[in-house]
Structure 1
Amino acid sequence: MLQSMTGFGSARLDSDQYSISVEIRSLNSKGMDLSVRTPRYLNDKEYEIRNMVTKALVRGKVTVSVDYTKNKAQKARNTINKELLQAYYAELSSAADAVGASKQDIFRLALHMPDVLQQEQEDEAGDAEWDVIQPLLEEALKNLNSFRTDEGKALTAEIMSYIDRIRILLAEIDKHDPVRMENIRTRVRGHLVEISNSEQFDKNRFEQEMVYFMEKLDIAEEKVRLINHLHYFTETAYLPEPTGKKLGFISQEIGREINTIGSKANDSKIQHYVVEMKEELEKIKEQINNIL
């Protein structure tokens, strides 16, 4: 079954100490185009994250975002440097006595002097949090692949409808082909009557050229190859592994046979069928760009 390259997956964990969220988005790309945004403490894990994502998603323009937020209880707390506070308080009191000023706000002023209030920084998250984040990454990747699979089912149905339409048009060409060949023979016989009385008419050479001419107009081989390509495309679309690139190559071969039928047929009705087949093929190629 086909799988889309477009997808979104997320995972989240909330605890008393922290909240961690992981979001992964994927769009179309010819290869793996990966962008990773994580907190600083995960910088040394980026290589491991890239390996996890590449192995799970194979291809696409992928953005990974990891957010880590400490809860209020875990945020930095203020502490008082009591020795420094006492020193400031004594100095301010002495200055107030010297100038006869009020001591009413001396404590508040001392409390806000430099380095009296100090923040206790919580340790950055480390390996313990990585042990939590790694399963969240795996869960987000699983959710994204599930999203891709659901999108792929819809794409498969759509692409197969285009393939079926090409089959129907090919059947119409096959039905009309004997009429086309008979029309050609009729025109050739008419020309033969006109020139058969000419003194320079070489019957043997004329027959040889007619055989060559009829062979050049014969599209039997192209019809067989085209139907085989359509069968191969369908079989490939339902393989379990990623087949987007292979389907692209098969669609090119389908296009070649359609073009050859159009150029050799020399028939207006078949040309109309060929134009419709090309339209369906263009729809297929457009959708294949989003296939993994």
Structure 2
Amino acid sequence: MTGFGKGTASGDGFEVEIEITSLNSRYLDLKFRMPGYFNAIEHKLRSLVSQKLERGKVNLFVNLVPTGPRFKPSRIDLDAAESFYGEIAALRERLGLTSEIDINTLVSIPDVVLTCYSEAELEIIYPVMVEAMEKAIDELQASRAREGEALGDDLRERKEKVLSLTDAIEMLSHENSQAQLRKLKERLRAIIGDAQVDEQRLLLEAGILAERYDTTEELVRLRSHLNNFESDLGQGDSQGKRLSFILQEMLRETNTIGSKCNDAAISAFVISIKEELEKMREQAANLE
């Protein structure tokens, strides 16, 4: 499901800001957007988020704002700067150069300006980052829960449409069953002609043929799936996967009904059910 969450937490000399956005996806796809000096703790953050979220294309934006001099990520390594200055000065003297060694030259040398935190500093930052992350996830979950309620209402409305269409098919099937049986008997008599045939055998053969077109079992199973769908809707704990499976079974029964029927009105109802089931499948894929 889609959603947004933001969390902040403060430490001694710094503040952590985390924003999370989520888009619909069948699986959990995490992408972190944060400075490279946090790469050492990304696996911990990834594990934390994976315990809280199950599905969605999730983007996480992590930022640290220093509120004091200690946690500024860009710092000059004075020892390295002095060492490089001495080596450059010696090189200048050896080559007989007269150009000055300015500050821009020094800070452009790798390892003079540090953009990282020490392991000890990361140990201080991480608990504060976890606090901000949990706040952002809680807000995201609340946002997704509101969307889930709206999706649930839509799914219940569509389920009722499918139930009404099922009722209509059942009514038509009952009305047409006797007519279908009469047609089958007439066809058999037309094929047999004037030959002497046992009436009971004729009825038996007609009944066997009529049974091939009987959808009673499929309608019973379809109703059972609709009841299970209603029961599982809103239960949480990977309900989207369970509902998708139930919808797949409903589509299977609907296809069987469509293959058995030879009535235009029933065929139209079958098409309508399949349209609703497809829309329900798309919505259920967004639920957790």
TM range, smaller chain: 0.7 to 0.9
Mapped to 1, the partners of 2:63 and 2:115 lie a distance apart of 17
For each residue in 1:8-42, what CA deviation from the matched residue of structure 2 results, as whole angstroms up to 9, or x when unmatched?
21113578944431011222333222122333443
Match of 1:114 in 2: 102
Matched, 1:263 2:251: no
Question: Counterpart in 2 of 1:207?
Answer: 203
Is 1:54 the counterpart of 2:42? The answer is no
Give 1:98's aligned residue: none
Q: Matched residues in 2 for 1:239 and 1:56: separation?
A: 17
Alignment-derived partner of residue 277 in structure 2:
281
Q: Is the 8 A contact 1:222 1:260 kept in 2?
A: yes
Give the length in aligned residue pairs.
257
Residue pair 2:37, 2:116 contacting (<8 A) in 1 also: no
Superposed displacement of residue 226, structure 1? 0.4
Query: SS of the residue aligned with 1:64?
Result: strand
Q: Residues 32 and 58 of structure 1 are in contact (CA less than 8 Å); yes or no, is this contact kept in structure 2?
A: yes
- Aligned 1:32-51 pairs, distance under 5 A: 32-51=28-47
Instruction: Compute the displacement of 1:195 (Å).
Output: 5.8
Cα distance between partner residues in 2 of 1:196 and 1:241: 61
Report the AA paired with residue 44 of structure 1. A
Q: How does 1:166-245 map to 2 (within 5 A)?
A: 166-191=162-187, 194=190, 198-199=194-195, 201=197, 203=199, 205-245=201-241
**Does the 8 A contact of 1:195 with 1:201 survive in 2?**
no
Structure with more relative contact order (C-alpha pairs < 8 Å, separation 6 or more): 1
Task: Say which one has the larger Rg.
Answer: 1
Q: 2:17 aligns with which of 3, 17, 21?
A: 21
TM-score (norm 1): 0.76
Question: Cα offset for 1:69?
Answer: 2.7
Decide whether aligned partners of structure 1 residues 120 and 271 sit closer, same or farther in structure 2, where only a CA change above 3 A counts.
Answer: closer
Is the contact made by 2:240 and 2:287 (CA closer than 8 Å) also made in structure 1?
yes
Q: What displacement does 1:193 show?
A: 5.9
**How far apart in 2 are the matches of 1:21 and 1:27?**
21
Paired-residue identity, % = 33
- How far did residue 70 of structure 1 move? 2.7
Give the deviation of 1:240 after TM superposition: 3.3
After TM superposition, the structure 1 stretch with the greater mean CA deviation from structure 2, 282-291 or 9-18, is: 9-18
Query: Are residues 1:147 and 2:135 paired?
Result: no
The residue that corresponds to 2:86 in the other structure is none
Q: Distance in 1 between matches of 2:269 and 2:217?
A: 17
CA distance in 2, matches of 1:268, 1:181: 14
Q: Which runs of 5+ in 1 are unaligned?
A: 79-83, 85-111
* Superposition deviation, residue 203 in structure 1: 4.6
Contiguous gaps of at least 5 residues in structure 2:
77-81, 83-99
Query: What do the CA deviations read for 1:189-243 (whole angstroms, capped 9, x no partner)?
Result: 5446656751365655533321211111111111110000000111111313221
Letter matched to residue 65 of structure 1: F
CA distance in 1, matches of 2:204, 2:53: 60
- CA spacing shift, 1:202–1:12, aligned 2, 3 Å: same
Answer yes or no: is the 8 Å Cα contact 2:5–2:143 preserved in 1. yes
Matched-pair contact (CA < 8 Å) for 1:22–1:137? yes
For 1:156, the aligned partner's letter is: G
Give the distance between the partners of 1:224 and 1:16, measured in 2 at CA: 65
SS in 2 for 1:217: coil
In structure 1, the residue matched to 2:96 is none
After TM superposition, give the deviation of residue 73 of structure 1 in Å: 6.3
Instruction: Determine whether 1:131 maps to 2:119.
Output: no
Q: Give the CA RMSD over aligned residues.
A: 3.2
1:69 counterpart letter in structure 2: V
